[in-house]
Chain A
Amino acid sequence: METIEEKAKDYSHILGWGIDADPKNDPTYPIKLRTDNEQTGHTWDRPEQQPVDIEVLRSIERPTVSAVFGTSTPPSGLSGQIRRFAFRFSESEYGHWLPLLLADRVNVVEGIVDDFRRGRVPNIFAEKGMQADWKYDRNGLIKKVLIGAAITTVAFTLLSRNKRTRKR
């Protein structure tokens, strides 16, 4: 039978073949490099606590706020209220994740409203990176625009016909 060393010769054109091979590659490492500390709870010296000076939503599966946390975009508006509701449920429940997804969609509308409030008209064409479409996928872009225009025209025609019928 061919030994591992002989097999390696077959792969000599592959730089580094077998360099990290370890017949004792235990499927439980490094997933479970046990220290046994995990059985005894929060035993480590906790790092200093970052001041909690913004609203931080916290998983109900955690007893404490983690020692550091992100400060990117605290919850706000209607989406914030939906997020607060979501954080009443554990991470294993749809009650947690589906409201968060809903909040994300509401947040998009809030973002557009916020742009207008600040006197900025969002440039959707640029935000979607459509300059790249124009450069690398012009036919695809033209197709998308034509399909969009066709759908809008059909929808507009149907709606105005319904209105006329109702008036009669």
Chain B
Amino acid sequence: MLAMNYRGPRRVRIDSKPYPEIKHPEDAIIRVTRSCICGSDLHLYNGNVPDTRVGMTFGHEFIGIVDQIGPEVHKIKVGDQVLVPFNIACGKCTFCQQGLYGNCHESNTQASAVGGIFGYSHTAGGYDGGQAEYVRVPYANFGPTVIPPDMDPDDAVLLTDVVPTGYQAAEMGGIQPGDTVVVFGAGPVGIMAARCAWLFGAGRVIVLDKVEYRLEFVRNYAPCEAYNFTEMDDPVVFIKKITDWMGADVCIDAVGAEAAGSALQTITGRKLLIQAGSATALHWAINSVKKGGIVSIVGVYGPTDNLVPIGNVVNKGITIRANQASVKRLLPRLIEHVQNGILNPKAMITHRVPLEDVADAYNIFANKLDNCIKPVLIPSTKS
């Protein structure tokens, strides 16, 4: 089968790999029909996530058709069209029982903080991902969800990560009706977080980014106020100024480790890798939120140390909430929203690329070429 193959920072290619094996009685093999490149894949692509081994296949956002099932799989059957949450979760452990499916204790041997994630380095369990023709899916009685027959596959594939992550970012903000919400980052997750902030009753939604076409997109899609932070002397002062010098009620960091905007953070976090990525967006979020406000973090950071203004967190009495999205918990509500036309995820897809051209797709997305918002990889139907 064909699969994306990581060769080193900013180098990937398509290669022939063996068809995946059923390794556990609850495994399934899925024939991938759509997979996305996620903004967090770019952290891997750029070599920022430790234990990303040469030869791995990335891809944690994918849908497909069940091709084979293990002897103890009974919730899905061969031929079902399923969407697969990016978290690999057993559904049984203490953390899964709490709905913390991103923190499953039975899917990642190599780290204790995060659960297993498809195609997301060995720090997230060492699973090959869905940027391939076939993928092994553990705990197939729990994760994979049959796609409703009336749902567009392009909507379904974005329900595996981007939509739930954006939604959870807004949910973790504890948004109360009328709140002012600031979203840092107008990538797909930031765009979705801005859109979902309204569903929780936000009174004002503001997005900051540095790329004009993304700002234009989020203005139309969310709809919200969107500003280019490169035109500001200081984004924190700007937010304070437009919130009557109080700060925002809720700030969402939808950027993570590769934030631009601070030379010190860029050098120490992105170039030298001596902290867990550049924490510029997080700094701005903490410093822009009002006293007693809430900072919600869905941007991905590497382990382990960060030059974060923790003193300000204490002094301001901020609540910080952060996690990988627990996709399975949110899916029923989000499927409802998509079916009722309240959310329209597929409108974010700007590029459909054959799987064979994965290297070009990564380059386009990483370097924001051709006004790219969200690329989807389509495996060939021939092989």
Contact = CB atoms under 8 A, between A and B. Distances in A.
Nearest to A67: B106
B294 A133 contact: no
Interface stretch (B122-130, B182-190, B241-249, B254-262): B122-130
B152 interface: no
B198 A16 contact: yes
Contact of B199 (A19, A62, A75): A19
Nearest to B24: A50
A104 B363 CA distance: 21
| Dominant secondary structure at the A interface | loop
Interface in B275-320: 294, 302-305, 319
A69 B108 contact: yes
A129 B363 contact: yes
A129 B200 contact: no
A78 interface: no
B97 A17 contact: no
B107 A103 contact: no
A123 interface: yes
Contacts of B100: 30-31, 33
Interface string B102-137: 000111111111001000001101111000000010
B367 A137 contact: yes
Interface in A1-57: 4, 7-8, 11, 14-23, 25-27, 30-35, 37-38, 42-48, 50-51, 56-57
A131 B360 contact: yes
Contacts of B333: 20
Contacts of A47: 24, 26, 90, 92, 106, 139
Contacts of B341: 15
A51 B25 CA distance: 11
B94 A72 contact: no
B359 A129 contact: yes
A68 B139 contact: yes
A35 B94 contact: yes
B98 A33 contact: yes
A71 interface: yes
Chain B interface residue number, banded: 35 or more
Nearest to A114: B54
Chain A interface residue number, banded: 35 or more
A88 B105 CA distance: 20
Contacts of A103: 51
B373 interface: no
A112 B113 CA distance: 32
A20 B53 contact: no
B97 A44 contact: yes
Contact of B110 (A38, A58, A71, A101): A58
Contact of B369 (A34, A37, A75, A132): A132
Contact of B116 (A25, A37, A68): A68
B32 to A, nearest CB: 16
Contact of A130 (B52, B174, B203, B363): B363
Contacts of B367: 133, 137
A73 B55 contact: yes
Contact of B126 (A67, A69, A104): A69
A-B pairs with lowest CB-CB distance, top 5: A129-B363, A70-B126, A21-B201, A108-B8, A70-B127
Interface of B: 7-13, 21, 23-27, 47, 50-57, 72, 88, 90, 92-95, 97-100, 105-113, 116, 122-123, 125-128, 136, 138-139, 171-172, 174-178, 196, 198-201, 203, 223, 273, 294, 302-305, 319, 321, 323, 326, 329, 333, 337, 340-343, 359-364, 367, 369-370
26 contacts: A16-B340, A20-B196, A21-B201, A25-B175, A30-B100, A31-B172, A31-B323, A38-B98, A42-B105, A51-B23, A56-B126, A57-B122, A62-B112, A66-B108, A66-B109, A68-B27, A69-B109, A72-B127, A73-B54, A75-B53, A100-B123, A105-B47, A107-B54, A129-B12, A129-B364, A132-B364
